[in-house]
């Protein structure tokens, strides 16, 4: 379940913060434009890779897009 106050700020030119729901295996990404996307069935290690990546945006494009189902929720 998405909770804005549990999002972790990241250093990125495109992404403001990320979050993860372990029980539901959902990763949340808030972009600088304010939009929030949920990525479903994301393993914990993949989320950890995202939040710790040197380039969060590049990691998201490489490892999340066209891999996990996603939708805009905000």
Number of domains present in the structure of the chain: 1
For residue 21, the enclosing domain spans 4-72
Q: Are 31 and 55 in contact (CB under 8 A)?
A: no
Nearest to 72 by CA among 41, 31, 37: 37
Between CA 55 and CA 72 the distance in angstroms is 22
Tokens 């992404």 sit at which residue?
15
The tens digit of pLDDT for each residue in 6-58 reads 999 999 999 999 999 999 999 999 999 999 999 999 999 999 999 999 999 99
- pLDDT for residue 61 is more than 90: yes
pLDDT of 4: 81
């Amino acid at each position: 379940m998405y909770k804005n106050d549990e999002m972790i700020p990241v250093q990125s030119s495109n992404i403001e913060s990320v979050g993860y729901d372990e029980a539901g295996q959902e990763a949340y990404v808030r972009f600088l434009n304010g939009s929030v996307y949920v990525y479903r069935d994301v393993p914990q290690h993949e989320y950890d890779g995202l939040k710790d990546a040197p380039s969060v945006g590049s990691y998201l494009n490489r490892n999340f897009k066209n891999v996990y189902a996603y939708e805009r929720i905000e």
